[in-house]
A and B are shown apart, each in its own frame.
Chain A
Amino acid sequence: MKTSLMSKAKILCAALAVMAPWGGTASASGEVNLYSERQPFLMDPLLKAFTAQSGIKVNMVYIKKGMLERIDAEGANSPADLILTTGFGNLNNLLQAGLLQSVGSSALSANIASQYRHPDGLWFGLTTRARIIFTHKDRVKPGEVTSYEDLAAPHMKGRVCTRSGKHEYNISLLASIIAAKGEAAAEAWAKGVKENLARKPQGNDRAQVKAIFQGECDVSLGNTYYMGLMQTNEKDPEQKEWAATVNVVFPNQKDRGTHVNVSGAAVTKSSKNKENAIKLIEFLTGDMAQKIYAQDNFEYPVKAGVAASPVVASWGTFEADKVLLSSVAEKRTLATRIMDRVRFDN
């Protein structure tokens, strides 16, 4: 009798464990609530390490489209304390919507270089990534492609691959060109690149390198970490071959520098666990987490003194575009309209 009661109790416990999320929103002390654009599979190891170190439980919703609208609709009662974004664009949207609050700590100021955080602590960069050009090792001669502008040059006709012009990474790049050279020049550039495309924009950054490998095109745009992920992909070793056929080119080293974007974090205006939220940002910009970002996802750490992964380091160093992230962000709408005008994706 006793054993069957015990096993019943066990089943009940298991059922309750499964049912746990069916309850309401948790907001007890010792917690921090996170709305994240970054995928759970990426964040879980970091968040587990944080909980192990601090004892603070992290609750997370992975939500990309509609995060801003959700925080806005929930208003002052929103349970979200902290948001994580994949790029600066959405960080800026939340900022403009007045949904963030200014926080700060000496640790944060020490961890993050000043160009990668808001002067009043409204947002913090966690990692950076560069938008680079992949060139085929043989079919593209050294020096043939050294800048974003080269992608629009006549000699690249039928040789360029990229993902959708409407993807936030390409919008952000075009916005940086508007910021540097003005609307007309940026539109001419977008038009030039479109005319040089080997195929209709499609797939993600990785798929473009695959296309170079397969001979569909010679050059493509991509974010740096994709190269690292391909070069070390043990589950799908074919990707190592794709990566091996291309060189990494950091564009515009002779003028304004390579376009760089940040993944970031910010504390919401309605945060009820502000102290814990700050602790989590401190942790994510601390040595241990920065090393995990660098080693596992091949991103550039924002903290000085944390080394990039050896894989990333092997591509060499580069000069980043010095333009303010906010100046790029405010050109995003215009960039999207330019992509419409030149019908980039069609």
Chain B
Amino acid sequence: MSAAPANVEFKPGSYKTDLKPVWCPGCGDFGVLNALYRAMAKLQIEPWNTVILSGIGCSSRLPGYVTTYGFNGVHGRALTLATGVKVARPELTVIAVGGDGDGLAIGGNHFFHSCRRNLDVTYILMDNEIYGLTKGQVAPTTPTGDKTKSTYWGNPEPCVDPCELAISNGATWVGRGFAGDMKTLAELTAAALSHHGFSFLNVMSPCVTFRGDGQFKELKEKLQYVPEDHDPTKRASAIAYTREKDVLTTGVLYKVETPSMVDRLDSIKERAAAEGPTPSIQEILTTFFPSF
């Protein structure tokens, strides 16, 4: 991302659009949105050089509330759209956002591959452990046994930890935040945006409507921070913070530097360019004459 000219200063409020969020009062996604405004202001991100993409779900409405270029796509495919934007225009700042159903159920395949490729995108997942927009069905992060609209007898399936998935699949920056802890969340968002490579920020974002008031309170009680001596470059120590039950550890769990997807594609382009100047179409066609 590029620094703003000296005469322009973006404040968190500068990124706010006129559109009023459709979210329920008390929804955790307000916290994520505000943290994003703050992080962008901290980094002085130019809205016209930034694209926020999403799939479908409550949280996927977020691009409409930020003054950047925005794309509210189809269910599960935010990262596919983000791949195209970033690869076609590597100089842009690209952010993908969405919920746990969008990113881990229908879009799970793209999540895995974006991690593996170390795609230069920040992916913020608003994890409320439920499907909100379709009004309360079980999600991949819903704890086992929980009763939802689609699990009358309780959720029969084990749930996943998104951070564990990201680390094991090759994401190079993995953090966890809580929508009710604005200060830390804004810092984490800024750190994710500053990372070179795929940065994955999982935010516990309570759903007051379908998970009840208790979810917020419970998360707040479990909240703790990664200790200062945590070494985020060690995969094993990062993994240790996933699948927690009694606590919710927030902070930067994992961070390493490896070549990103754009780095690798650019190096291919350099190798191709080293073979000679850009060919004309006429020259390409000529290669189809018999070569002997």
Q: Say whether A associates with B.
A: no
